[in-house]
Amino acid sequence: MIVRPRPGFLHLFFIMRGSVVPRILPQIFGFGVYGALVVLAVRALKLDFGNAGPAPFALLGVALSIYLGFRNNAAYDRWWEARKLWGQLVFDIRNLARASTGLIENRAELRGLLMEAIAFCHFLRGLLRRVDATTEARAFIGEEAESAAKAANAPDAMVRRMGERAGALYRAGAIDVMGYRILDERLSQIAAAQAGCERIMGTPLPFAYTLLLQRTAYIFCLLLPFGLASTAGWATPLFTALIAYTFFGLDALSEELEDPFGTEANDLALDGLCRVCEISVFEALDESPPKMIPAEKYYFS
């Protein structure tokens, strides 16, 4: 995730980190060159396309804008819902730490439960990013991380372990039925956050929307120079490149936001959110918390 102050006018056109421009440079330059070739061909061959001018492209541009607006709104909704789910998860981890410190007197059991909660966060991050988070989880639960990583769903395995620990405390008389219910409710909320994240990860936007949008954008940019060549002249390549930047830039941004759990510049900072959970847990245990992960060139991983 890129977090930086608003750039000034001089820096506005040169910022690449967090921009989609590097991804769409081939389309921008390609259509700019293509526009120049069309102008050259129209003038050399003295082609006449009538008096329609750019009017048909205005109508097609309106339709394309509707497609882009729908896809961008849908992609942003996914990104924002994912952020709310992780915000809720931070809240639930803090609630679990607060409740368990008041209910569990055995220091070893208390610490074990909260370390499993941190391991859950890292395993969930690994699941969503499709990476192995066993090393990070091992720092909190030791060799138990290896057996949890072998499960089909490692985060869910950690929730079950926490539930088993709470159940064992109840059966041993360390907590009463109300205390067990409080802990179980906290674990249920954590499991609900995981299910919401899995829903976003496992349900991409329908491919037909992406296909329709990209087809229309390419057709629009391929035909646009023919409508502008007679009126705009050698400014046609510039206008074509600007239109390509707008349409393909919005498409690339939507594609990036559609999967908010990745490691691209505009994805969520899951490493940082896991560290927030670590800090909350260690402070609840009256232990020295780790430091927050610093930004690297305004980028939080």
* Domain assignment of residue 19, yes or no: no
> At residue 161, what is the residue type?
R
* Domain assignment of residue 297, yes or no: no
Give percent of the chain with pLDDT exceeding 70. 95
* Domain assignment of residue 289, yes or no: no
Give the Cβ contact number of residue 206 at 10 Å.
11
pTM: 0.89
* Domain assignment of residue 4, yes or no: no
What range defines the domain where residue 55 resides? 27-284
Instruction: Count structural domains, the chain.
Output: 1
Phi first, then psi: what are they for 53, rounded to 5°? 65, -150
* Domain assignment of residue 11, yes or no: no
Tell me the per-residue pLDDT of 68-117, one tens digit each, with 9 for 90 and over: 888 889 999 999 999 999 999 999 999 999 999 999 999 999 999 999 99
**What average pLDDT does the chain have?**
89
Rounded to whole angstroms, the Cα distance separating 169 from 179 reads 10
* Domain assignment of residue 148, yes or no: yes
* Domain assignment of residue 129, yes or no: yes
For residue 172, is pLDDT > 70?
Answer: yes
* Domain assignment of residue 209, yes or no: yes
For residue 266, is pLDDT > 90?
Answer: no
Bridge partners, residue 2, by sequence: 299
